Amino acid sequence: MDSRHPTCTDAELAELDFPVLLRHGLAAGESRTALYGDGAVGAAVVLDRLGTRPRSVAFLAETVRAVGLAAAAELPAPLPRADAAAEVREWLAAAASIAGGVDADDAAARWLKAVATIIELRQLARA
């Protein structure tokens, strides 16, 4: 595969099933590569389109690390914008459903931090 030519468009990446990616990717195995690859980029596309600031996602990542996925999924506003919060709440609930303990919490926090970084890079590239 030629890395200079992406195989998926932003629109295709935004249509990924993030709850499924999280459930399978946090459980380890080959699915983790898809979660941290196309999954992180696709999530960044979705949240960027919703006007989410990267630091909000980075803060959520630290919250997940501190309180765990289950508690983060119960937050009334995991992100400041209502549309983004609703989207992310679904992702967090799916991730929390695997009962992976601290390891899953940490992996989800790292994934959210990667999503935040990609959002920031996308925004800097447009500036």
> Mind listing the pLDDT tens digit for each residue in 87-100?
999 999 999 998 78
- Which pTM was predicted? 0.91
Least confident of 2-11, 48-57, 66-75: 2-11
Instruction: Give 52-55's long-range contacts (Cβ < 8 A, gap of 24+).
Output: 52/79, 52/81, 52/84, 52/119, 53/80, 53/119, 54/116, 54/117, 54/119, 54/120, 54/123, 55/116
Instruction: Indicate if the pLDDT at residue 121 is higher than 90.
Output: yes
H/E element holding 124?
helix 101-126
Specify the pLDDT at position 29. Answer: 63
Domain-wise residue ranges, the chain: 10-126
